[in-house]
Chains A and B, each alone.
Chain A
Amino acid sequence: MKTFLLYQDRDFELPQKLSADDRAATRTFQVGSRLSLAAASFDHRQKLPSNEDALMQDLELTTLFNAMALGDEFLFEVAKKAVLSGLSNDVETIFYRQDILKDCINNATLVREIYATAVQAIESERKSYFNIFSRYTASVLYSAIEVLQMFVGTLKKLRRIAGEQSIQFQSEGFTALFAMLRRELDDQFFAEIQTHLKNLKFRDGVLISAELGKGNKGIRYILRKPSENHRSWIDRVFLQKPAGFTFQLHPRDENGAKALSELQARGTSLVANAVAQSAEHILNFLSMLKTELAFYIGCLNLRARLTQIGEPICFPRPAPAPDRQHSFHGLYDVCLALSMKRKVMGNDVRADDKKLVIITGANQGGKSTFLRSIGLAQLMMQSGMFVPADSFCANICDRLFTHYKREEDVSMKSGKFDEELSRMNEIVDHITPNSIVLFNESFAATNEREGSEIARQIVTALVEKQVKVFFVSHLYDFARGFYDEGLDSAIFLRAERQSDGTRTFKLIEGEPLDTSYGEDLYKRIFKKEEKRALN
């Protein structure tokens, strides 16, 4: 049985080892065919991008994931994994998740109840954990039966929700999940389990078959189901009972009692294994449900927070990767809003059919914030989330890279430039045509002419290779050069500065200017020194 809440046809996996809490969630799930939705045999695991660390740092993703997790480590990990691995989703998967997320928003209480049910069952199981892993077959069997009893309760509850509430859900994902629960967890299934749990108490003794192995020792011990006494009286008279020899242990024969229980353990080891594994399989199912729902729970948490601040959200319109679209209204930096705990300035840009966006202008004029909002929105859209904007439409990308000026290494200029180009080299190792690269003041660790030339060569090549580039830069030669070329596929944005020197943090379309208003900044920061100089 599969939950398929993140992909139509495969499981969502958390590849790295998480905290001990979530051992179950880390297991590799095999794709089954219980759901009829294109269950191709997938070996595919959604991979985290190789530049995961850079994305985390440059886009301040921790702030976003914290808002989704609300302190829950598991929710954090799932959010991180789902968002970062979202870059490999196709448009169909994005809509699939958007639909499920809409269901979640409309039925938040019920979805949280399902999630809590799974979490609770998993936690109760953990308490029996040590017994299940016992080396004594009898206690493995005993604990496994206990866990199964408990899971039966959980499954019945899920079955009830699936039966009673499913009408309120419209998404393909939830509809299929509820249908599957109704189909698989029928009354007959529960009855069968009850019979097994009763039989496994072995009121009539344990019947084991065996054969002779090396040194005439018993091998292939198999637990047998005693033939039932449904035979007619004629059978009973004429069919001989199997001939047998019986041995009664001496009451003080302790070694004998031990040996006999070992013999019984050999016979019941397989069934104990089967029951324990079944319990684990159900646990895995519940863990899968928990993991996949965790992403949506994270989205609900984030939505609640943004609503509180008064920030809007919208479901974005993803376009296929080869298209060049990027148009939005009121796109804001969700991380800035979350950490400022208030509404922040949004931007409106129409950059459809553009491959190059160069952003110049005032220091602290919102350029970095804008660049981050582009990256965040892209990641959120591709993972199936809503985005922080009034409206948003963009083509999806294969890869998203950030190339930001790094603060370390200030002492050695050449070393820093070397480091920058080395990072560029790594990016180029992984880049594909439908990628997006966000440059933030890159290649400035040398003089402007050289930096401009390097930037020009790199950007020209990327754009020609169909890579979409957002470049925040103070390199006037570089920005001006592209502007003068008059490329149709380029758009130039400028951080706004009003005549009195105050910043609106809003970007407007405009040609690059040859100052970044550093003077303003200097004046503000060196206010005291200036005053002192005047005195």
Chain B
Amino acid sequence: MSFSILFPSTEHKKETAQAPDFFADLNLDQVVDAITAGKEEYNLKPFFYTSLHDADLIRYRQEVIQDLENSALFEVVKSFAEEMRAMRQHLAQADKLYYQLQKQSWFLDAVDIYCDAVASLAHSLSGLDVKSRGFAGLREYLSSYSQSAAFTMLVQETKKVKADLASVQYCVLIKGDRFTVRNYTSEADYSAQVENTFAKFKQAGVKDYRAKFPTEPEMNHIEAKVLEFVSQLYREIFSELKNYCSRNNNYLDETVSAFDREVQFYVAYLEYMLRFKKAQLSFCYPQVSDRDKQIFANEAFDLALAQTIINEKSSIICNDFYLKGKERIFVVSGPNQGGKTTFARMFGQLHFLGALGCPVPGREARLFLFDKLLTHFEKEENIKDLRGKLEDDLIRIHAILEQAGPNSIVIINEIFTSTTANDALFLSKKVLQRLIELDSLSVCVTFIEELASLSDKTVSVASTVIPENPSLRTFKVVRKPADGLAYAISIAEKYRVTYRDLRARIHS
């Protein structure tokens, strides 16, 4: 029986070693870095690089995350992870140590922690109401694994050896440069006797004069010698320990181990989400469809931007968008620094995260399940590349249009800036025309306002400013005709040079 918390069936299992091409353009590299920070040991990025293209796979993950939003389950999973981490640290320590008797003890503890971790996860799960296929599957798997003969045997042996070792008591008699290790025969505690003599003076609040001793796991050769003598005093116990270690070398169950890694995909994402929830930002489970292109999102935001300014306590601007009927393409125009690029990135991020099966930043959303996500963002000029910038733009756009199909999402940010306005208009129209023909969902950020009304498939949206103070950008991107007037007028008002202002100010 095999099982995965990330995929409904192990045949779907897939990881991608390389980040997709659009990652940097959409700032998803920053997002995934932030999500996986501190969890490097799990190597989670290959999961985050792999988007899903099947609505059922996405629902499988959404169910799991919904279960994990129950804090009781989340805590269970986290404490399991902590124990498994402790187990790995014990194994690593065992590896580093020099003396066999020490290695054996650390190994024994590692297995002990593992047994506890599995048993307590199985126990906790049996008492929790889980609705996802993922956790139901895990519960079933663990219930049979934890009751298996092999596992129960492992638990028993481990407890026995540990109890035996804990029962060991010995004495060391140190005299000059020699010492003797021997059995403890109930000699009286002398410190207690001394304390007793002086008890009559006892007050609270005296200093602690106990020396601090090193606590590193290693032993010096004297301690090792003492331990060797102790193992000779207790021959049976120590030979049992040795046999135990060689017998249980392969104690770790593969499925349990895989779960430990895979579930961190969710844990990492949920912990990441929590930062934003604390700042009153919402996440939602998007509806996904690979047919319906009438998408929408309310109160969505750019995660990469939000994660950098959330610490600065500036308010994060949320945006709404929708496409209905034949609408396919957002043409984004408006003042610079007004949130155009942010809007484009947000659109891409939402779709990508939705395709991972994760909640997306926004209050509610319906998203399209794409086959390919293609982006073209302006790049720094590459000196080594002998092609000119315009040529480079064209070559890259061409490659994108070659790959794109009706189910792709294409995001284009400010192309053809390095040519004349006429050229740019001409080339842009051509590109847009092609996208219209393809019927793919697109976002096109441009300074060319004519593009906005090219077809009934295009929707004009624009960044906005606050009329009284145009230098303050709202970062709100709203549907409106691309007339460029609002911006100009607001600046005129600021400088009191509007028609009315001038009428009033100019005295005849």
Contact = CB atoms under 8 A, between A and B. Distances in A.
A29 B179 CA distance: 42
Q: Could you say which interface size class chain B belongs to?
A: 35 or more
Interface string B184-206: 11011111011101101111111
Contacts of B225: 247
A115 B396 CA distance: 96
Contacts of A225: 187-190, 193
Contacts of A273: 191, 208-210
A271 B190 contact: yes
A267 B172 CA distance: 9
A282 B198 contact: yes
Given A224-B171, A244-B182, A269-B211, A207 B177 contact: no
A446 B220 CA distance: 83
A216 B201 contact: no
Given A184-B200, A224-B188, A260-B177, A216 B227 contact: yes
B175 interface: yes
B97 interface: yes
B223 A29 contact: no
Interface stretch (A104-112, A250-258, A427-435, A522-530): A250-258
Interface stretch (A133-141, A390-398, A487-495): A133-141
B229 interface: yes
Nearest to B214: A262
Interface stretch (B102-110, B424-432, B495-503): B102-110
B211 A137 contact: yes
Contacts of B198: 274, 277-278, 281-282
A263 B184 contact: no
Contact of B206 (A209, A259, A269, A284): A284
Interface string A237-256: 00000111111110100011
Nearest to B168: A212
A226 B169 CA distance: 16
B93 to A, nearest CB: 8
A210 interface: yes
Contact of A281 (B101, B168, B201): B201
Given A196-B194, A281-B202, A206 B173 contact: yes
Q: Which of B109, B191, B227, B230 has the most CB of A within 10 A?
A: B191
B201 A278 contact: yes
A309 B457 CA distance: 111
A272 B207 CA distance: 12
B399 interface: no
A127 B253 CA distance: 64
B172 A1 contact: no
Nearest to B99: A216
Interface in A194-228: 196, 199-200, 204-212, 214-218, 222-227
B183 A208 contact: no
Interface string B27-71: 000000000000000000000000000000000000000000000
A64 B170 CA distance: 65
B149 interface: no
B505 interface: no
A278 B194 contact: yes
A505 to B, nearest CB: 50
Interface in B78-120: 93, 97, 101-102, 104-106, 109
B178 A226 contact: no
Interface string A155-196: 000000000000000000000000000001000010011001
B125 to A, nearest CB: 30
B8 to A, nearest CB: 42
B226 A218 contact: yes
B156 interface: no
Given A204-B175, A225-B190, A242-B183, A215 B213 contact: no
Contact of A206 (B93, B101, B165, B175): B175
A330 interface: no
Given A270-B191, A284-B206, A246 B178 contact: yes
B314 interface: no
Contacts of A284: 201, 203, 206
A282 to B, nearest CB: 5
B190 A209 contact: no
B205 A271 contact: no
B184 to A, nearest CB: 5
Contacts of B169: 209-211
Interface in A270-294: 270-278, 280-282, 284-285
B174 interface: yes
Given A27-B203, A30-B204, A223-B191, A263 B172 contact: yes
B379 interface: no
B211 A135 contact: yes
Contacts of B386: none
Interface in B108-155: 109
Contact of A224 (B102, B190, B232): B190
A278 B191 CA distance: 11
Contacts of B173: 205-208, 226, 244
A225 B200 CA distance: 22
B170 A251 contact: no
A282 B201 contact: yes
A32 B183 contact: no
B194 A275 contact: yes
A267 B165 contact: no
B351 to A, nearest CB: 50
B262 to A, nearest CB: 31
Given A223-B190, A278-B198, A243 B183 contact: yes
Given A222-B191, A263-B222, A270-B191, A28 B205 contact: yes
Contacts of A262: 213, 220
Q: Which of A245, A280, A285 has the most CB of B within 10 A?
A: A245
Contacts of B175: 204-206
Contacts of B185: 227, 242
A215 B194 contact: no
Contacts of B203: 27, 29-30, 32, 281, 284-285
A132 B207 CA distance: 10
A259 B221 contact: yes
- 10 interchain residue pairs of minimum CB distance: A205-B175, A244-B182, A278-B198, A281-B201, A224-B187, A259-B222, A30-B204, A276-B209, A245-B229, A249-B177
10 contacts: A1-B201, A30-B203, A133-B209, A212-B168, A215-B97, A215-B109, A222-B189, A247-B181, A259-B223, A273-B191
